[in-house]
C-alpha cells in the first residue's frame, strides 16, 4: 500500500509541475519565431490602433513547482510570438500566496495595425 501511494504522489509531482494554460481565441502554433513583444498593464493603450489576436490565463495546477514570475513571462512571450502579437496586455496578476505557490496571470495579446508604432513603445515591468 505504501509503494502504491508513493508512486501516485511522485507521478502527480512530475506530471503537473508547471502552469496550467488556458488559451482564448487562438491555438498555439508550433515552430515559433523569436520576437520581442511589448508588455503593458491594463487595457488603456491610449489611441493606439490595435486588434486582439487572443487571450491567455496562466494558473496553478495544484502541484506546480516551476511557475514563478519568470516562467510566466517566458510562457507569455512564447505564446505571443507564436501568434504574431506585438503587445501583451496584463489584465490581472495574482502573486504567490498562502493558497498558491504560483505566479498567476491573465493577459490579452494584441497586434498593432501599424507595426512601425512598436518602436515608440516601452515595456512595463511585471511586478
Per-residue DSSP letters for the chain?
-HHHHHHHHHHHHHHS-B-EEEEES----SSPPP---EEEESS--TT--EEEEEEEEEE--SS-SB-SHHHHHHHHHHHHHHTT-SEEEEEEEE---SS-SS-EEEEEEEEESSGGGGGG--PPPP-
Mean pLDDT, rounded, for 66-90: 92
Identify the band that residue 75 occupies on the pLDDT scale cut at 50, 70 and 90. very high
Percent of the chain scoring above 70 in pLDDT: 80
The confidence band for 16, taking pLDDT boundaries of 50, 70 and 90, is: very low
The pLDDT value recorded for residue 5 is: 46
pLDDT at 110 over 90: yes
Q: In whole numbers, what is the pLDDT of the chain averaged over residues?
A: 82
Give me the mean pLDDT over the 113-117 stretch. 87
| Residue 95 grid cell | 502573486
Asked whether 34 and 77 are in contact (CB, 8 A), the reply is: no
The pTM of this model reads 0.80
Amino acid at each position: 500500500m505504501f509503494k502504491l501511494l508513493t508512486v501516485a504522489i511522485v507521478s502527480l509531482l512530475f506530471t503537473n509541475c508547471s502552469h496550467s494554460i488556458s488559451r482564448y481565441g487562438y491555438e498555439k502554433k508550433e515552430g515559433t519565431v523569436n520576437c520581442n513583444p511589448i508588455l503593458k498593464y491594463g487595457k488603456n493603450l491610449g489611441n493606439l490602433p490595435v486588434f486582439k489576436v487572443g487571450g491567455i490565463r496562466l494558473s496553478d495546477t495544484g502541484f506546480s513547482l516551476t511557475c514563478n514570475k519568470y516562467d510566466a513571462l517566458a510562457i507569455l512571450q512564447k505564446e505571443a510570438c507564436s501568434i504574431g502579437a506585438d503587445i501583451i496586455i496584463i489584465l490581472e496578476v495574482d502573486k504567490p500566496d498562502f493558497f498558491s505557490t504560483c505566479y498567476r496571470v491573465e493577459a490579452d495579446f494584441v497586434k498593432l495595425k501599424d507595426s512601425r508604432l512598436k518602436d515608440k513603445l516601452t515595456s512595463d515591468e511585471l511586478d
